[in-house]
Structure 1
Amino acid sequence: MQTVKDTVNSVTESVQQATSGASKEANKNVAKDSDASLSTRATAAKDAVGDKADESKHDAKSEAYSQKAQS
């Protein structure tokens, strides 16, 4: 039963990782957009950094759950 939970948690974390990655890329594009205001670009850059941290966190959690499920 725990293996099933760990597998589900691993998949959930992988989905959240992908979502954070997509958000990071979108924010990077806004930060590079010369038509956007400076404050919009700065906020997008800050958000991209936060998304990268979230992406890394979800990747680590997914890997940990995956390893635990295989044990």
Structure 2
Amino acid sequence: METVKNAANYVGDKVNEATATASKETNKEVAKDSNADISTRATAAKDAVGDKFTESKNSASAEGNKQAAKH
């Protein structure tokens, strides 16, 4: 039963990782957009950093759940 739970958590973590990656890339593009005002660009840059942290956290959690599901 624990293996099924770990597998489900792995899938959830991978979905969350993909969502964070997409958000990070969008925010990076906004931060680089010279047509956007400076406060929008600064907020997007800050959000991209947060998204990178979330992406990394979910990736590590997914790997842990993947390994736990194997054993």
What residue in structure 2 maps to residue 3 of structure 1? 3
- Structure 1 segments, 4+ long, off by >3 Å, are none
Q: Report the number of matched residues.
A: 71
TM-score, normalised with respect to structure 1: 0.99
Q: Matched residues, percent identical?
A: 59
AA aligned to 2:19 is: T
| Secondary structure of residue in 1 paired with 2:36 | coil
TM-score, normalised by the number of residues in structure 2: 0.99
Structure 2: give runs of 5+ residues left out of the alignment: none
CA–CA distance in structure 1, aligned partners of residues 2 and 53 of structure 2 = 28
User: What is the 5 A alignment of 1:7-22?
Assistant: 7-22=7-22
